[in-house]
Amino acid sequence: MTAKLDATKAKKAVEETAAKTVRFTITMIKIIFILIILYTVAVTIWVYSKEGLDNFLTSIATTSIAGFWAFFLGYFGWRLGQSIEAYFYDMRKKKK
């Protein structure tokens, strides 16, 4: 015996499940980012407290420059990856 499915009830159930999943995912991402920030602050204080004030400023400058280059190269690597992906996608569309 087959049971009939009500399309509106099924659609509402899927929408509710999707909304709950998105809320849960966003909450988990926020918690993970907060933990990363707290860990970074704790390690930074711990490492910089072992060094003197002279090394402290040098370490901050070095870390900030390294962070800039990591962001800069990561961003352009991401953009390069996007352009390569678009190239292959367009190439595949032309073959059809």
What are the tens digits of pLDDT across the range 70-86?
A: 888 888 888 888 888 88
Residue 56: CA count within 13 A, CB half-sphere? 10
Residue with the bigger pLDDT between 52 and 55: it is 55
3-state secondary structure 12-47: HHHHHHHHHHHHHHHHHHHHHHHHHHHHHHHHHHHH
Domain regions of the chain by residue span: 8-50, 52-96
Separation of alpha carbons 67 and 75, rounded Å: 12
Q: Work out the average pLDDT over 38-51.
A: 78
3-state secondary structure 47-72: HHHHCCHHHHHHHHHHHHHHHHHHHH
Separation of alpha carbons 29 and 27, rounded Å: 5
Q: Tell me the pLDDT of the chain averaged across its residues.
A: 83
Residue 1 has pLDDT above 60, yes or no: no
Check: pTM over 0.75? Answer yes or no.
no
